[in-house]
Amino acid sequence: MKILIAGFQHETNTFAPTRASYQSFIQGEGFPPLSRGADVLALRDVNVPIGGFIQAAQRAGHELIPVIWAGASASAHVMQDAYERIAGEIVDAARAGGFDAIYLDLHGAMVAEHVDDGEGELLARVRGIVGNAMPMVVSLDLHANVTDRMLELADAIVAYRTYPHVDMAETGERAAVLLDTLMRDRRPLKRVSRRIPFLIPVNGMCTLVEPARGVYDMLAELEQGPVASLSFAPGFPAADFPECGPVLWGYGHDEDALARAIDRLYERMLADEPRWEVHFLSPDEAVSEASRLAQHADKPVIIADTQDNPGVGGDSNTMGMVRALLRHHIEDAAVGVIWDAEAAAAAHRAGVGARVELALAGRSGVPGDEPLNGVFEVEHLSDGRFRFDGPMMHGMQGDLGPVACLRIGGVRIVVSTIKMQIFERNFFRVAGIEPEAMKMLVVKSSVHFRADFQPAAHAILVAKAPGPMAADPADLPWQRLAAHMRVRPLGSTFGDWRALAAREAVAQLP
């Protein structure tokens, strides 16, 4: 076959402070930078879905027609210009023809300034050109908010099964297998899907622990015989539109067998609903507990500053956890990564060993967050370039822009020029910090950091410091959820929650 391949990934937090521009996709911000044509094939050795698809398709002898691959860190809406430029290249390639099938590496939770369902809209534009007979398969992120439109327009969709996402390339390979099945059998796969009626906190989706691990184990066991493919996307609980939320779906030639498998998974999800709740610590609670644990530990204690994770829409620049470390006079602690290009530039101008007076970061606009004013010692400077050696993005080159290690009291802070979620320990090393030598590490991440940090950690705590991404979805100011959706596990439905909020607002009127 000749297969048209392209990728367009963005996880949209509609409550976040910063939107994704075209430049965001050029930089990649933790993803590979935007690539076109033959350069896309260089992703074959990177742990992204299109990389796994390329390897599997080439092994099978298919000819690939690469168009574009673009991804950017989670943020607020994708700007209309960025969406239209990138989607337009994919649509133009579809219009040019000359291929037998299509594979698209998408995220599944993209909201643009002018389109709620970014992936559904792209699929509709492509399908409108190539017609219904053209085989089209799609891979999605585990955090996809899978819409009915996506399911109706693609012949098959598969999603990641791990969080941290160590199986991205493997997911692309599974998409290639499904495409081969479609072409070999020459008949469409039957599909069954069900929506889970409650939002799940992002921290509760980690597949290294229960209940997520058990659900995916069960899914893999049920995927056999007439059940060709099963997927579960817990969703991204920060996109304010009616189809936000978890979805189960699958494909096969025996609809009854497929329905039975989906029903078993659905019943498991409802039975486990209480287990999807997450317990969070305040910044001071987290630091106090970490300090206690660190007294007799030979590995660092790690605190996830989850509400400022740039991987879910934060800007990686809130100062709540830094202030908590300073309040408790913590020594041998490091924080990474704070995004403040101005502070990084000031440190580079001053040089190693200098002391600089700064108002560091703290510009999120979130109540309770403000810049940290102080005198910082410049301990290390670098160009911010490094190699990903951890399990997630292994082999990819990273670029944080000019980086500085700033020290205040006993706290070292990695300050970057480019925003990026901290995926692995090399983010500290690029700033001259050996993370294993620290007693305490604070990371701007929710779960992805665990892939590389967990083996090197004595313990991991999750803190709920002020930040743009509410760790508990019930804390978000929803406006457009489906009325029946519970805003958290065992929580109120959106309809009841909104009615209660309206009554409280009226009660507060003078």
Residue that the structure tokens 């202030």 belong to: 323
245 φψ region: left (φ > 0), alpha (ψ -120 to 50), beta (else): left
Among 403-412, 421-430, 468-477, which stretch is predicted with the lowest mean pLDDT? 468-477
Which one-letter DSSP state was computed for residue 44? G
Residue 505 has pLDDT above 70, yes or no: no
Q: Which band of pLDDT confidence, cut at 50, 70 and 90, is reported for residue 393?
A: confident
pLDDT in tens, 298-323: 999 999 999 999 988 899 999 999 99
pLDDT in tens, 332-352: 999 999 999 999 999 999 999
pLDDT in tens, 353-392: 999 999 999 998 899 999 999 999 999 999 999 999 999 8
**What are the structure tokens assigned to 431, written together?**
């700033």
Q: CB neighbours of 235 closer than 8 A, spacing ≥ 6?
A: 109, 143, 144, 145, 146, 199, 200, 244, 245, 246, 247
pLDDT in tens, 103-141: 999 999 999 999 999 999 999 999 999 999 999 999 999
Determine the Cα–Cα distance for residues 481 and 117; give it in Å rounded to an integer: 14
Domains in the chain: boundaries:
1-188, 189-278+477-510, 283-463
Q: Are 215 and 269 spatial neighbours (Cβ–Cβ below 8 Å)? A: yes
Superfamily of domain 1-188: Response regulator (3.40.50.2300)
pLDDT of residue 29: 87
| DSSP letter for each residue of 393-445 | STT-EEE-SSEEEEEETTEEEEEESS-----STHHHHTTT--GGG-SEEEES-
Determine the Cα–Cα distance for residues 32 and 55; give it in Å rounded to an integer: 17
In CATH, the number for domain 189-278+477-510 is: 3.30.70
Residue 504 has pLDDT above 80, yes or no: no
Mean pLDDT within 80-86: 98
Determine the Cα–Cα distance for residues 149 and 170; give it in Å rounded to an integer: 25
CA distances from 499 to 199, 390, 475, 502 (A): 18, 46, 15, 5
pLDDT of residue 30: 83
In the chain, pLDDT over 70 holds for what percent of residues? 98
Measured in residues, the chain has a length of 510
Rounded to 10 degrees, what is the CA torsion of 480, 497, 280, 449? -10
Residue 508 has pLDDT above 90, yes or no: no
Q: Give me the residues paired with residue 194 across strands.
A: 248
**What are the structure tokens assigned to 196, written together?**
């889970």
